[in-house]
A and B are shown apart, each in its own frame.
Chain A
């Protein structure tokens, strides 16, 4: 697709900034008041893919809808490309929305329109003439790989194809920001991957900033360079995806992570774990490999340092935000001598470790 690169605004100015955002629902009449967002502060850097992850009900849908004004804050500010969304009148809001594309979990395509006409819709809404629309839509369909499905109705397309049409539609007005509301949650794993690849390509080739919400760690891990973890209306952890995922601090992050990167201990081990070593107990330690350490034969050296009685209990090797990452749970005797030698070894190598507890 032929497209002029957007004027370079300094990268330091984020595309989206949430400042102390509070959103409450209800509280009038019969419904009890419900706080969906409770003082959210975060930024989505320009040109990056930022993921917001949380369980259902954590407030992420509300959060993303504040960005294009589909919901309004109770207090606090949402600033998109320098503009405070809360200050905009209805007409200004419509202008903003034409610069912010959005894709949805259930695609939200018009069943009465063909793929081509669905992609045309935002352009018709913006008041463009037929000819301009025709010239714009065809390359978009090609971009998402559906140039040959132009005359098909959504009912004739698969889920992944529908989402591709949704993406083409969201890109039609050449937005500067793409919002993704659980865009892959209704798709199977394979289709999810192909949609994520497409989003990554669009981010890279068009320089489009992407803000996505999801409950799937897999999504964030695969494409987001920045991540914010949201729980009960609060951002509990946030930073570069790699930092957050390799050294998760908050309980919610850990439990969300456990499913994807083998961080979860088998039940038979975790059940008997104690916080303090008993006589003859073994220490259970998680070793995390990333960056340089991911490429070194550290397990062999550990064995050489502390003796052969090292047992591997669980582990996984994966990739986060394009970087290799490994997690290994080992156990060894918890006698003072071994523990000291192990600690020395970790200090020398700079290996990230976490003592999980002590067991038999």
Chain B
């Protein structure tokens, strides 16, 4: 393949991947964050005790997470059509990606919040904080480095998931690699796709690590 054609194909696929990852990551985190906070604070004897609802939400999250992504993509096609107006294309692919992101983010947020020292919750209660203030001023503030790393992991996973939405015409880097590299016997396209993906994942991870380090004041550093 001519180099300029390869570059143009790669660029288009790169933009599609970025679009899908960014949109699904953003919407998914927006919905996953409150669910994660709820999971971390609604157990028995916790800030907003609702143990039954907690168990139901937890079970739903587990169910969603154990469904293989490619099956999820196909299974929710009617829902995708309802939301996106079509079940094919990059925009439509964002729907299953978002659905897969929500439980993933929720669990990661929950874990980060649960790692916050219980003594801090007690101290805040002793100051007369409301449960809502404890969440915003203590839990989210203290869990911030963990949440950032969790969201980084989410984005990296999304880059991987986005390779599968070629099945519904989502396009993107993964799809390019399969169609050209594998089905049309063009190993150089496959190689180029893999290199770009490595760079993308590396960039996301480094940015996330840097941000998390910036907010992490738990250890002394000079």
A interface list, Cβ under 8 A from B: 68, 70, 93-98, 100, 102, 104, 106, 108, 110-113, 121-122, 124-126, 153-156, 169, 173, 179
Contacts and interface: CB of A to CB of B under 8 A. Distances in A.
Contact of B126 (A70, A95, A111, A153): A70
Nearest to A114: B217
Contacts of A102: 123, 126-127
Given A121-B127, A122-B128, 11 more contacts: A70-B122, A98-B128, A106-B117, A106-B119, A108-B117, A108-B123, A111-B218, A112-B141, A112-B217, A125-B137, A154-B217
Contacts of A125: 124, 127-130, 133, 137
B120 interface: yes
B122 A108 contact: yes
Contacts of A156: 220
Q: Is the interface of B mostly helix, strand, loop or mixed?
A: helix
Interface residues of B, number: 23
A100 B142 CA distance: 24
Please name the 6 residue pairs, one residue from A and one from B, whose CB atoms are nearest each other, closest first.
A97-B128, A108-B123, A94-B128, A98-B128, A153-B217, A122-B127
Q: Is the interface of A mostly helix, strand, loop or mixed?
A: mixed
20 contacts: A70-B122, A70-B125, A93-B128, A98-B128, A104-B122, A108-B117, A108-B120, A108-B122, A111-B217, A111-B218, A112-B142, A112-B144, A112-B217, A113-B141, A121-B124, A122-B127, A125-B129, A154-B217, A169-B127, A173-B127
B66 interface: no
B143 to A, nearest CB: 9
A218 B137 CA distance: 36
B219 interface: yes
A169 B120 CA distance: 13
B115 to A, nearest CB: 12
Contacts of B127: 97-98, 102, 121-122, 125, 169, 173
Nearest to A93: B128
Contacts of B119: 104, 106, 108
B215 interface: yes
Nearest to A113: B141
B177 to A, nearest CB: 41
Interface of B: 117, 119-120, 122-130, 133, 137-138, 141-142, 144, 215, 217-220
B17 to A, nearest CB: 33
A64 B127 CA distance: 15
Contacts of A96: 128
A233 B199 CA distance: 63
Contacts of B128: 93-98, 122, 125-126, 173
A179 B126 CA distance: 10
A244 to B, nearest CB: 28
Contacts of A97: 125-128
Contacts of A95: 128
Contact of A110 (B122, B130, B133, B138): B138
Contacts of B124: 121, 125
A49 to B, nearest CB: 19
A122 B124 CA distance: 8
A110 B141 contact: yes
Contacts of A111: 142, 217-218
Contacts of B133: 125
A155 B137 contact: no
A108 B124 CA distance: 9
Contacts of B125: 70, 97
A121 B127 CA distance: 9
B215 A112 contact: yes
Nearest to B120: A108
Contacts of A179: 126
A133 B82 CA distance: 51
